[in-house]
Amino acid sequence: MVLTDPGLAGIVAAVKEGRITFQRILTYTLNSIIKKIVTALFLILGLIMTGHAILTPLLMVIIMIAGDFLAMSLTTDKVRPSKTPNAWNIGNLTIAGIVLGFCLLAFCAGVLAFGRFRLNLQTEELRTMTFVTLVFGSQATIYAIRERKHLWDSWPSGWLAASSVTDILIAAFLSIGGFAMAPLPAILVVCTLLCAIVFAFVLDIVKLLIFARLKIA
């Protein structure tokens, strides 16, 4: 570090920026762990539940693009620097990711089961519901884990909010219009989004318990 101004203000600013960067990387890493768990296990669970592949290659590509677009916006997110020095504890971080990942998996599986056994949707419609559920569920997860306290304690950055709204609108437009997938009724897409919002608050409670237990801050 090279100080260009007298005093310690530059050091304080550098430490603060470093801790902000750490928090952003922590969120990104945790999100990556959760996504890898859910993507693999949900595809297997969906195959067992329906007897068919629940995502086409095209839908997988769309989900990956949407997820990466949102994840990249995390680099601009408004976060609070931690009050104490940070240190990587990959073991605890992995455990937290696994627990939260299984929570997201349970949410996605529950929505798919409702569509399969209660609404009696056909295979193509179930694939569309899977697509919508993964997109909306991922949104809920990011908003829950980006904040170390309750998810409503801080506002996301403009880029993150814009990316989130864009992803939701694109997913809704494609699924309702039946572009690259079978169409779903608008009411079903909206209800899935509302369920994802409720899930975000439930996941927020689980996150607080896990973070406190594993001392992730």
The tens place of each residue's pLDDT in the chain, 217 residues long, gives 666 777 667 778 888 888 888 999 999 999 999 988 898 899 999 999 888 899 999 999 988 888 888 888 888 898 888 877 888 888 999 999 999 999 999 999 999 999 999 999 999 999 999 999 999 999 999 999 999 889 999 999 999 999 999 999 999 999 999 998 999 999 999 999 999 999 999 999 999 999 999 988 7
Q: Does the CA dihedral 151-198-71-34 come out positive or negative? A: positive
What pLDDT shows up at residue 103? 96
pLDDT of 165 reads 94
Q: Please tell me the predicted confidence (pLDDT) of residue 89.
A: 86
* Other beta carbons less than 10 A from residue 215's beta carbon: 8
- Residues in the chain, how many? 217
pLDDT of residue 3: 67
Task: Give residue 36's pLDDT.
Answer: 87
pLDDT at residue 64 in the model: 86
Task: Catalogue all structural domains in the chain, each as residue range(s) with its CATH number.
Answer: 29-214 (1.20.1110.10)
CA distances from 155 to 22, 147, 165, 166 (A): 18, 9, 14, 17
